[in-house]
Structures are given as structure tokens and as C-alpha cells.
Structure 1
Amino acid sequence: MPRHHQKRGPAPAGGSQRQLRVGEAVRHAVADILVHGNVHDADLEGHVITVPEVRMSPDLKLATVYVMPLGGRDSDIVIAALERNKKFLRGEVARRVNLKFAPDLRFRADDRFDEAERIEKLLRTPGVQRDLTPNSDEDK
């Protein structure tokens, strides 16, 4: 008997529900590891690191971990330190998150704050402010 498969549309922009759920579990695990100082690296000491998002690949074998040091300073140093300790972090994530395979971790700087600041600066420019005021020259 032939199997009847339903044709699925494209995956949502943020990924499937499972990708989002696993990404959130990995995010919590990585954040917990960093908060408790389980990673012993001189470059990570003295840095408070935020993990705002983890994006999982569709097969759940690759996790892209977005991190941001407090204040945004030394992000390159922090990313390099996390990359050096990737094997340890992967093992810890495997112990804390119940998955068939422990995902490979890839660390990236979270640039959403920089992008938000750039947009804020654009909105504060005189040309945009002039267009946003209710009493512009076009109303007269």
C-alpha cells in the first residue's frame, strides 16, 4: 500500500516548534553553565555573559549560540574563549539536555543590540524627526 504524505509548506522563519523548544533548552543549559562559573578560563573570568538566543539546525545537530558580554565589551575575546572550551560545554549540555545526539556548538556575537542602536540613531536624525512631527509643511 502506498503511503500518503502530506506536503508541508516551508518551515517558519524561526524554525520548527521542536527546533525552538530544543534551542531554548540548550540556551538555558549554556546560560546555567556560564552563570555558575563551571568553565575555567581566564578570559571568561570577570565577564557576565548573556545568552539571548540559540538557533538549532533542522536536524538538531548544530546549535548556534548567540552570546553578549555585559556592556558589549571584549566580545571577540569571550567568543574565542567559548570556542576553546566548546568540547567541555558540549559535554555539559549533553548531560543537561536529553537529546539523542549532543549538538555541536557554534558561538556568535549577538548584534541585535548594535542594530537596535543604529535604528534609534536613524530615528533621531533631523530629517526623520521632521517627517514624524504632526505639523509639517505639507499640512499648511
Structure 2
Amino acid sequence: MPSRDFKRTDRVGAELRREIGTLVHAAVRDHGLPSCSVSDVEVTRDLDWATVWVTALLPQQSKETVKALNELAGEFRRSLSRTMRIRRVPELRFKYDDSVDKGERIEQLLRQSPPQEADHSED
């Protein structure tokens, strides 16, 4: 029997990422939330919990954004239960993904540092 390339949690996570991305985009527009996007969704093996990683356009507003999204999690879950073909939709918890901020900070530091000259002297 051939092995599967993706586990079920990966497939469910990818589907949740697409669906939640659409819901978050609508929530930003309808509820006046700070602009954000879904970067990743991690689902537990038993499919009980899904951690939704979001990035904010303005990192200063990340705590406010995550708090608002966690308050809307129940509404998102109900909407997902109507649109997804899955027996039980996982509980959602939103967390801020700071990897983009860290990458920008590293890039900024690299641009600020003067280029290092290579030592080509022979002994």
C-alpha cells in the first residue's frame, strides 16, 4: 500500500487556513479590526484544537488583533461547521506570528552593518 504524502491533520490544517483566511478578511472589514492575515494553522492530532497563527500589518496592534480574533473564535467555528465537510470543527485559538517581524528586524540590521572585507593576506 503506498504511503500518504500528507497526514490528515495537514490536510485539515490547509483547508482551515483557506477558510479562516476568508473569515478573518471579512471580520477585518466588518468589525473594523486592524489589518491582519492568517499565516498558518496547526491542528492537534486528535483534531480538537487548531492554533491559528496571524500576522498584523502594524505589529504594534498585534495584541489588540489577537484578542479580538479570539473573541470571534466561536463565531468563526460556527461558520466553519456550516461550510466544511468535517464531523467536528476544532476549537480555534489565535496567536500572533512574529516570524515576519523578526525577519524584517534581521534584514534591517544587515543593511545597517558595514560590509566586512575578507582577509586575503597570505601567511
Category of TM-score, reference length = shorter chain: 0.7 to 0.9
CA distance in 2, matches of 1:79, 1:46: 10
- Aligned-residue offset at 1:60: 1.6
Q: 1:46 to 1:106 in 2, by over 3 A?
A: closer
Matched, 1:19 2:9: yes
**Residues 33 and 39 of structure 1 are in contact (CA less than 8 Å); yes or no, is this contact kept in structure 2?**
no
Matched, 1:69 2:59: no
- Aligned-residue offset at 1:88: 0.8
TM-score by length of 2: 0.79
CA distance in 2, matches of 1:95, 1:29: 11
Identify unmatched segments of 5+ residues in structure 2. Answer: 1-5
Matched, 1:99 2:91: no
- Aligned-residue offset at 1:40: 5.5
Find the residue that maps to 2:58 and give its secondary structure. helix
Matched, 1:115 2:102: yes
Find the residue that maps to 1:102 and give its secondary structure. coil
Matched, 1:36 2:21: no
Q: 1:54 to 1:17 in 2, by over 3 A?
A: same
- Aligned-residue offset at 1:110: 1.0
Computing the radius of gyration from Cα coordinates, the structure with the larger value is 1
Residues 81-133 of structure 1: per-residue CA shift (max 9 Å, x gap): 11111111111122222212110101000111122123324434647x31xx4
- Equivalence for 1:5: none
The equivalences for 1:53-64 within 5 A come to 53-64=40-51
Q: 1:39 to 1:23 in 2, by over 3 A?
A: farther
TM-score by length of 1: 0.70
Instruction: Please identify runs of 4+ aligned residues in structure 1 that moved more than 6 A.
Output: none
What is the root-mean-square deviation in Å for CA atoms of aligned residues?
2.4
Find the residue that maps to 1:47 and give its secondary structure. coil
CA distance in 2, matches of 1:81, 1:114: 20
- Aligned-residue offset at 1:28: 1.0
- Identity of aligned pairs, percent? 29
